[in-house]
Amino acid sequence: MEIKVFVSNLAKYNDGELTGQWTTLPVDDVNKDILDKLDLGGDSKQGYHDEWFISDYEAPFKIDEYADLYQLNELANSLLENNIDTLEDAYNFLDDKERTGCEEVYPFDDDFFDMMFSSREEVARAVFFGNIKNWMDDYILLNVYGNCESMSEYEFQEMLEENADEIISQFKEENL
């Protein structure tokens, strides 16, 4: 999953000039690879404190302008190390999906019914009282009542996008 940030010099911005650089995370050294290049008027040994901010970003989740650049770099590194290229990969990598606000979604196939139900009667009840919109949908889930609901690929991706911040937050909690 690619995370790009535009890191800007705060002092120059306050003087009316937006300067900075686009950087794709992770980098080897945040100070050397990003902050030293911003002409912040100090050196990395003293620390940069609040002399910079993230004025723009490209990522599938929200990044605050004063987000910790070092933690973002650590997140990007963890995503790279775990071969997480998409929100779906991050979602599937999680141990605790409930905390993301997403439903526990499964491929819509016979294995789902074999795994989740012990009898054909249970399957019939869950399908009858559920909401199978299309038998060709890609995904299925059990709603809060224990009934089956189908979900298209589009609906699944939409759910992931709507809960992207929570997915990334849970990924951080489990992996950083």
pLDDT for res 80: 96
Judge whether residue 56 has pLDDT over 80. Answer: yes
Using one digit for the tens of pLDDT, what is the confidence trace for 73-99?
999 999 999 999 999 999 999 998 889
**Strands across the sheet with 139-142, in order?**
105-107, 139-142, 148-151
Q: Which domains does the chain have, with CATH numbers?
A: 3-81 (3.10.20.480), 103-162 (no CATH)
| CA dist., res. 108 & res. 118, Å (int) | 17
Buried b (16+ CB within 10 A) or exposed e, 8-24: bbbebeeeeeeebeebe
Mean pLDDT of 155-167: 96
d(CA 8, CA 176): 26
pLDDT in tens, 105-141: 999 999 999 999 999 999 999 999 999 999 999 999 9
What pairs with residue 5 in β-bridges? 23, 57
DSSP state of 20: E
- Lowest-confidence range among 17-26, 40-49, 66-75? 40-49
Q: Taking residues 20-39, report their average pLDDT.
A: 91
